[in-house]
Copies of this chain bind each other. A is one copy, B any other.
Amino acid sequence: MSTHRYERLADHLRERIRAGYYSAGERLPSVRALAEAHGVSLSTAQHAYHQLEDARLIRSRPRSGYFVCALRERPAFPPPSKMAQRPVAVSQWEQVREGTCVLPDTHMHNLGRGMPDIDTPTIKPLLRALSRAGRRHDLIGLNYDTLHGRPELREQIARLSVAHGCRLHPDEIVITTGCHEAISVAMRAVCEPGDIIAVDSPSFYGALQSINAYGMKALEIPTCARDGISLEALELALEQWPVRAIQITPTCNNPLGYTFSEKRKRALLALARRFDVAIIEDDVYGDLSWAFPRPPTIRSLDDEGRVLLCSSFSKTLAPGLRIGWIAPGRYRERALHMKYVGTGSTATHAQLAIAEFIREGYFDPHMRRMRQQYRHNLHAALDVIDAHFPTSVRVSQPEGGYMLWIECGAALDSLALNERLMAEDIRIAPGVMFSATGKYRHCLRLNYAVMNDAIRYALKRVGELIGEMEKAEAREAMTAG
């Protein structure tokens, strides 16, 4: 979160430079002109320029002022191929296990996990609500909840659903132990062991592992880092294979960061209708989109109950509470059964606290703040990447959330990179986790939810090590050749 004026001003200039408003080599306004134009002090303007200089976006020439550096052009992601591969059993459990068994309260700089920033003043009322929920006279927080979840929380989720174009009724919602359980329930509600689920690729490893563990098969559909899943490839796949469900994260995708346009969401829904398959829509990052109003869910476009909408408060509030939900549409009865057999009812106490937090109006201001912070942090992360990553790496352009996807040269092994980083107490998410078959070994995912000097340093080290490894690789190739 920009707390200082100079940081906000730097953000503003940064966006103008990236958007091409100021082009490479161009001279920037003088410090005095900048200060006047923005109604800030001279020292604030000076500070802002210094920040951009540190990030190597501009440089100063003695006695001439500040000039825009040549933006280090990064290659764009190649368009995805048009062909899905065959349905496969998912592997890669080892890497996922590795990544999920790290204690959060160590000194490790974990750039690999899907953690939001929880250390923010706008979350304080949630702590108070948790505290109050525990002291309630009726002890409801200690009691078994009903299977579908507390009515006061379902009511608030239904209210919030208007923002993504839905008008969910509280009774359409089933509370779950995080979005992870929502997805797991959705898959088991729709599919049997042996069934094929089409997925965007790369995609959230939790969903892939669930497909694996329930004996289903994943059909990875080529996905474009800007526009999302290839509808052409999906159509071919649906023609070729008896797909039962499409599992997709169309808004603020993890890991790629894109948002599927409404038009493409409609086209996807039409395809699902034509081939009569269910859509498992993961909207867990949806509220973190920078667009206003936030993009609609596919669920909001669906009038047949074909979409099972899955989400949680893990990315917006706090993942440790493990409160998510599913709006399972026409699969409600099976979803309830699958919810029951997995965990019984959901923890009551946290539900009461979250319901109170939303009801009392704390959710929207919190979300505004977090979106602003993450957007700001994205620029800060890109500054580090511009300064310290090899220019050959491809970098995603997130439209929300707090994840970056980095594609290195084909020879880079991100598992080996992670090993080396761990010796320095830094962690990333290696790309192989995001594929059913260990693709994306040369890719990695980085979290920029929190930004400070230590994180900037960790990011810098990631870039430097990638550079070193790529150079070593190139030397070896030369020697061998």
Contact = CB atoms under 8 A, between A and B. Distances in A.
B347 A97 contact: no
Contact of A319 (B119, B142, B209, B336): B142
Interface in A188-210: 188, 192-193, 206, 209-210
Interface in A296-342: 314, 317-322, 336-338, 340-342
Q: How often does this chain occur in the complex, in copies?
A: 2
Interface residues of A, number: 71
A291 B140 CA distance: 31
Contacts of A178: 343-344
A362 interface: no
A259 B322 CA distance: 35
Nearest to A147: B100
A148 B344 CA distance: 19
A325 to B, nearest CB: 13
A117 to B, nearest CB: 10
Residue with the highest number of chain B CB atoms closer than 10 Å, among A126, A128, A144, A181: A144
Interface stretch (A32-40, A129-137, A219-227, A427-435): A129-137
Residue with the highest number of chain B CB atoms closer than 10 Å, among A123, A145, A341: A341
Residue with the highest number of chain B CB atoms closer than 10 Å, among A147, A212, A318, A342: A342
Interface string A362-375: 00000000000000
A100 B345 contact: yes
Contact of A341 (B130, B143, B209, B348): B209
Interface of A: 93, 96-97, 100-105, 113-115, 118-119, 123, 126-128, 130-131, 134-135, 138-148, 151, 177-178, 180-181, 184, 188, 192-193, 206, 209-210, 212-215, 314, 317-322, 336-338, 340-350, 353
Contacts of A350: 347, 349-350
B341 A321 contact: no
